[in-house]
C-alpha cells in the first residue's frame, strides 16, 4: 500500500462519478456507494498506516536505537534525539510533462504526516457519511450531496498525498470548490448562497498567496518536489530573502484556508451548510489544509520566518491573535454552530501559533486530536438540531436536553472537556505539547497567550454546554434521542476524544505519535523536543478547571435567581448585591457572555464590531472596487474596444457581402459574361505588363 497510496483518492473520485450518474436510480439514492467507497478508503488508509508503522518499528528494532547513517548526515537530529533512525518517505510518480529540463511529476508521497492525515480524513469522512444518511434524510438534493462529499474527500486525499506543490495546488483548489458546493447546498435561500460565495472568495484571496508562494519557491529551489524544496530550505546555500517572501505568501494561503485572522470571516458564515459538512470542513478537510501546508513545507517557514531565532514572527503572532479573537467572539454567539465555528478559528490559531513557535509535533498532534473532538461537537450540535429543535441552532431554544438526549449529552460533554484541555482527554496532551515547546523555546509570550486561550475556551464551552443541556427546555418541540446512524459516530468520536491523546503522553513514557508520525524526511535539526513540564501542565489544567468552575457557578446561580429574589426584597445589602447581579444579567442578556464583566463584554462586542464592520468593510470595499474596475473594463475595454473592433469587422464583411449578392443573379449567361470579361481584363493586364 505504501507504493500505491494513490488508489485511496481514486476510489473517492470514482465514487463521485458513480453517484453522480447512477445515484438517483439506487434504492438509497447513492449513499451506499459513498459509504462503501469511503469505508474502503478508510480500510486502505489503515493498512497504509499499519505498514508505515511496521516499517518504522522495524527500522527501530534493526538499528537498536542507534544513530543511522542518515542521522549522521545531519538530516534528523529530531529522530536522533528520540533514538529512532530516520525513515525515508516513500515517493512514487511519473512525469506528467516536461519543459526544457524542468519535469512536472505527478506522484504520491507517504510519510508519517501523510499516514496520519489519511487516517484522520478517511475516518472523519466515513463517520460523516454514515451520519448524513440520517441527518440529510429526504433532502432535496440528497444524491448531489453525497456526490459532493465524495469529491470533497477525494480532493483532500489528493492534496494530502501530493509529492509536489503543483499537485497540492490542484487538490487545494478542488477542496475549495467542494466546500463552496457544500456550504451552498441549500442555495435557494440567499444567505446560504452568499455564505458559499464568501467562503469561496475569501479563501481564493488566500490562494493567490499560495500561487505566489509556489512560484517563488520554484524559482528558489528550482523544483516543485516537496523533498527537494525542504532540503533546499535547510541547506546553507538557500536564498533567505526568497524564502522569506515565499513564507509570507504561503502564510496568506494558510490564513485564507485555515481561517486565521484577518481572513477568518468566512468560517462562521460557512455554518450555513449542512452540519455534517461543517464537521467535515472543520475537522478533516478544508481548514486543516492550511495547517497541513504549514506542516508540509515546515523548513521553508522555519528558515523564512527565522523561527529558530525565537522571539516574534509573523506566523506565531497571527496564530496568537487568532486564538484570542476567536475565543472572545465565541462568547457572544447565540448560535451553537457559530460558537463551535469561532472555537475552530481559535483552535486553528493554536496550530498556526504552534508552527510559529517551532512546535511542529505539537501542531500535527493538535490537528490530530482536534479533528476528533471538534467533529464530535459539531455532530452533537447537528444531533440536537435534528432531533430537538427542528433545524434551529439557536441556543435560546435549547436547554435541559440532558435528560431526553443522554448519548448526545455525554458525547458532547466529552468533546467539550477534550476541547477545554482537561487531563487526561485528548486536547490536554496536544495543547500541553504546544505550550511546553513555546515555553522551552524562548516563546514565553505565546505560552501565556495559549494559557489565556485555554481558559477562555473552557469558559465559553461551559456556557455552551449549560445553555444547551442544563436549565429548562425553552423550545417548542419534543426533544428525543437521535437514531443510531447519528449516535454511533458520536460515540466513536467521543471515545477517540477520550483516548487519542494517550498515544503521545510523556508522563507514561508513550511517544508513539512522535515515533510514528514525525518521520517526514527532513525537518529542521534545531527543533526543540519539549520535556514534559508538570508545573505547566498543572497550571493549564487548573486554569481551565477554574474557568469551567467559574462559568458553571455563574450559570447555576442564575438558575436560582427565583430563590434569591425573596431575600433581596427583604435585605438591603442583598438587594444591592442583587441589583449588581441583575446588572450583570442585563449585560449577559446583551452579549450572552459567561465571564461577562464591564471589561469583557465591550471587548468581545468591539472585536465583533471590528470583525463585522472594519474587516468585512475592507473585504467588501476591495470587492466593490474590484467590481467597479471590472465594470469599467467591461464598458470601455471589452464593449467599446474589443467588441467594437469585432462588430466593425463583421459589419464591413456583411456589407461587402450584401454588395456581392447582386452578382449572384442566378443567370448562367451573366456568369459567363463575367467570366469572359475577367479573362479579358486579366489578359489585357498580362499583355500590358509584358509589353512594359
Partner 1 sequence: MPINYFLILSAFLFCAGAYGVLARRNSVLVLMSIELMLNAVNLNLVAFSTQVQNVSGQVFALFVITIAAAEVGIGLAIVLLIYRNLRSPDLDRVEQLKG
From candidates 572, 661, 689, 690, binder to partner 1 by CB under 8 A? 661
Residues 6+ apart with CB under 8 A from 356: 305, 307, 313, 314, 315, 316, 317, 318, 319, 320, 443, 446
**Minimum CB distance to partner 1, residue 691 (Å):** 19
From candidates 663, 688, 689, 692, binder to partner 1 by CB under 8 A? 663
d(CA 588, CA 598): 11
Residue 653 binds to partner 1 (criterion: CB under 8 A): no
d(CA 177, CA 196): 10
Residue 681 binds to partner 1 (criterion: CB under 8 A): no
Residue 656 binds to partner 1 (criterion: CB under 8 A): no
Is the bond into 262 cis (omega within 30 degrees of 0)? yes
**Minimum CB distance to partner 1, residue 21 (Å):** 49
Length of the chain (residues): 692
Q: Write b or e for each residue in 318-333: b if 16 or more Cβ atoms lie within 10 A of its Cβ, otherwise e.
A: bbbbbbbbbbbbbbbb
d(CA 355, CA 290): 12
Residue 627 or 672: the one with the smaller Cβ distance to partner 1 is 672
**Minimum CB distance to partner 1, residue 662 (Å):** 8
**Minimum CB distance to partner 1, residue 689 (Å):** 22
d(CA 443, CA 429): 19
Mask 574-613, x = binds partner 1 (CB under 8 A)?
----------------------------------------
From candidates 237, 666, 688, 692, binder to partner 1 by CB under 8 A? 666
**Using CB under 8 A, which of the segments 314-322, 492-500, 591-599, 658-666 binds partner 1?**
658-666
**Minimum CB distance to partner 1, residue 670 (Å):** 9
- C-alpha closest to that of 40 among 19, 20, 10: 10
From candidates 7, 641, 672, 682, binder to partner 1 by CB under 8 A? 672
- C-alpha closest to that of 17 among 148, 141, 127: 148
Q: Write b or e for each residue in 187-216: b if 16 or more Cβ atoms lie within 10 A of its Cβ, otherwise e.
A: beeeebbebbbbbbbbbebbbebbbbbbeb
**Minimum CB distance to partner 1, residue 676 (Å):** 6
**Minimum CB distance to partner 1, residue 673 (Å):** 5
Residue 688 binds to partner 1 (criterion: CB under 8 A): no
From candidates 72, 538, 676, 686, binder to partner 1 by CB under 8 A? 676
Residue 674 or 685: the one with the smaller Cβ distance to partner 1 is 674
**Using CB under 8 A, which of the segments 61-69, 81-89, 432-440, 670-678 binds partner 1?**
670-678
Residue 690 binds to partner 1 (criterion: CB under 8 A): no
Residues 6+ apart with CB under 8 A from 300: 217, 229, 230, 233, 243, 246, 247, 250
Q: Yes or no: say if 203 and 257 are a contact pair by the CB < 8 Å rule.
A: yes
d(CA 48, CA 54): 10
Secondary structure (DSSP) of 154-181: HHHHHHHHBSBHHHHHHHHHHHHHHHHH
From candidates 668, 689, 691, 692, binder to partner 1 by CB under 8 A? 668
**Degrees to nearest 5, angle at CA 438 with 611 and 233:** 90
Mask 610-649, x = binds partner 1 (CB under 8 A)?
----------------------------------------
From candidates 573, 669, 688, 689, binder to partner 1 by CB under 8 A? 669
Q: Is the C-alpha dihedral spanning 647, 648, 652, 653 positive or negative?
A: negative
From candidates 664, 688, 690, 692, binder to partner 1 by CB under 8 A? 664
**Minimum CB distance to partner 1, residue 668 (Å):** 6
Residue 641 or 676: the one with the smaller Cβ distance to partner 1 is 676
- Give the number of C-alpha atoms closer than 13 A to the C-alpha of residue 287, restricted to the C-beta side: 35
**Minimum CB distance to partner 1, residue 224 (Å):** 59
Q: Which residues bind partner 1 (CB under 8 A)?
A: 660-661, 663-669, 672-673, 676
Amino acid at each position: 500500500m505504501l507504493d500505491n497510496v494513490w488508489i485511496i483518492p481514486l476510489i473517492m473520485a470514482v465514487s463521485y462519478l458513480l453517484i453522480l450518474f447512477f445515484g438517483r436510480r439506487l434504492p438509497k439514492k447513492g449513499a451506499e456507494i459513498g459509504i462503501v467507497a469511503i469505508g474502503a478508503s478508510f480500510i486502505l488508509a489503515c493498512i497504509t498506516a499499519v505498514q508505515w508503522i511496521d516499517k518504522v518499528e522495524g527500522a527501530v528494532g534493526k538499528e537498536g536505537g542507534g544513530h543511522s547513517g542518515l542521522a549522521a548526515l545531519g538530516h534528523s537530529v529530531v529522530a536522533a534525539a528520540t533514538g529512532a533512525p530516520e525513515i525515508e518517505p516513500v515517493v512514487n510518480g511519473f512525469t506528467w510533462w516536461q519543459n526544457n529540463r524542468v519535469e512536472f511529476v505527478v506522484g504520491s508521497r507517504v510519510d508519517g504526516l501523510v499516514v496520519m492525515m489519511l487516517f484522520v480524513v478517511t475516518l472523519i469522512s466515513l463517520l460523516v457519511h454514515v451520519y448524513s444518511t440520517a441527518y440529510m434524510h429526504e433532502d432535496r438534493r440528497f444524491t448531489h450531496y453525497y456526490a459532493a462529499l465524495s469529491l470533497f474527500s477525494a480532493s483532500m486525499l489528493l492534496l494530502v498525498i501530493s509529492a509536489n506543490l503543483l499537485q497540492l495546488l490542484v487538490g487545494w483548489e478542488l477542496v475549495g470548490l467542494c466546500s463552496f458546493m457544500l456550504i451552498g447546498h441549500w442555495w435557494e435561500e440567499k444567505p446560504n448562497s452568499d455564505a458559499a460565495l464568501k467562503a469561496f472568495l475569501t479563501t481564493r484571496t488566500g490562494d493567490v498567496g499560495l500561487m505566489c508562494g509556489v512560484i517563488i519557491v520554484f524559482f528558489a529551489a528550482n523544483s516543485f518536489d516537496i523533498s527537494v524544496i525542504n532540503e533546499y530550505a535547510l541547506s546553507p546555500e538557500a536564498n533567505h530573502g526568497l524564502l522569506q517572501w515565499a513564507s509570507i505568501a504561503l502564510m496568506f494561503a494558510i490564513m485564507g484556508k485555515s481561517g486565521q485572522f484577518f481572513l477568518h470571516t468566512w468560517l462562521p458564515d460557512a455554518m450555513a451548510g449542512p452540519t455534517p459538512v461543517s464537521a467535515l470542513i472543520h475537522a478533516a478537510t478544508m481548514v486543516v489544509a492550511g495547517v497541513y501546508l504549514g506542516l508540509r513545507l515546515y523548513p521553508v517557514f522555519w528558515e523564512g520566518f527565522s523561527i529558530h531565532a525565537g522571539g516574534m514572527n509573523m506566523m506565531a503572532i497571527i496564530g496568537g491573535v487568532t486564538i484570542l479573537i476567536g475565543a472572545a467572539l465565541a462568547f457572544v454567539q447565540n448560535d451553537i454552530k457559530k460558537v463551535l465555528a469561532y472555537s475552530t478559528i481559535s483552535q486553528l490559531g493554536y496550530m498556526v501559533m504552534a508552527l510559529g513557535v517551532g512546535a511542529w509535533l505539537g501542531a500535527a498532534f493538535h490537528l490530530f486530536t482536534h479533528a476528533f473532538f471538534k467533529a464530535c461537537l459539531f455532530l452533537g450540535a447537528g444531533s440536537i438540531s435534528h432531533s430537538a429543535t427542528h433545524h434551529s441552532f439557536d441556543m435560546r431554544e435549547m436547554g435541559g436536553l440532558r435528560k431526553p438526549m443522554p448519548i448526545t449529552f455525554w458525547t458532547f460533554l466529552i468533546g467539550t472537556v477534550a476541547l477545554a484541555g482537561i487531563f487526561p482527554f485528548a486536547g490536554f496532551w496536544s495543547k500541553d505539547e504546544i505550550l511546553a515547546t513555546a515555553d522551552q523555546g524562548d516563546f514565553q509570550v505565546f505560552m501565556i497567550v495559549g494559557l489565556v486561550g485555554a481558559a477562555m475556551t473552557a469558559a465559553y464551552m461551559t456556557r455552551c454546554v449549560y445553555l444547551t443541556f442544563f436549565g429548562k427546555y425553552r423550545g417548542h418541540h419534543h426533544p428525543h434521542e437521535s437514531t443510531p446512524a447519528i449516535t454511533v459516530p458520536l460515540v466513536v468520536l467521543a471515545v477517540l476524544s477520550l483516548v487519542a491523546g494517550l498515544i503521545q503522553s510523556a508522563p507514561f513514557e508513550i511517544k508513539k505519535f512522535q515515533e510514528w508520525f514525525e518521520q517526514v524526511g527532513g525537518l529542521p535539526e534545531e527543533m526543540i523536543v519539549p520535556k514534559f513540564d508538570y508545573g505547566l501542565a498543572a497550571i493549564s489544567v487548573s486554569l481551565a478547571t477554574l474557568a469551567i468552575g467559574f462559568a458553571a457557578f455563574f450559570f447555576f446561580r442564575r438558575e436560582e435567581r427565583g430563590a434569591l429574589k425573596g431575600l433581596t426584597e427583604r435585605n438591603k445589602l442583598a438587594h444591592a448585591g442583587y441589583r449588581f447581579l441583575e446588572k450583570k444579567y442585563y449585560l449577559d442578556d446583551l452579549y450572552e457572555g459567561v465571564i461577562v464583566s464591564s471589561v469583557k463584554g465591550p471587548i468581545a462586542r468591539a472585536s465583533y464590531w471590528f470583525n463585522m464592520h472594519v474587516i468585512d468593510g475592507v473585504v467588501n470595499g476591495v470587492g466593490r472596487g474590484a467590481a467597479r474596475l471590472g465594470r469599467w473594463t467591461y464598458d470601455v475595454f471589452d464593449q467599446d474596444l474589443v467588441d467594437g473592433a469585432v462588430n466593425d469587422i463583421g459589419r464591413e464583411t456583411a456589407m461587402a457581402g450584401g454588395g456581392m449578392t447582386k452578382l449572384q443573379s442566378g443567370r448562367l449567361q451573366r456568369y459567363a459574361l463575367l467570366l469572359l470579361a475577367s479573362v479579358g481584363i486579366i489578359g489585357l493586364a498580362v499583355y500590358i505588363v509584358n509589353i512594359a
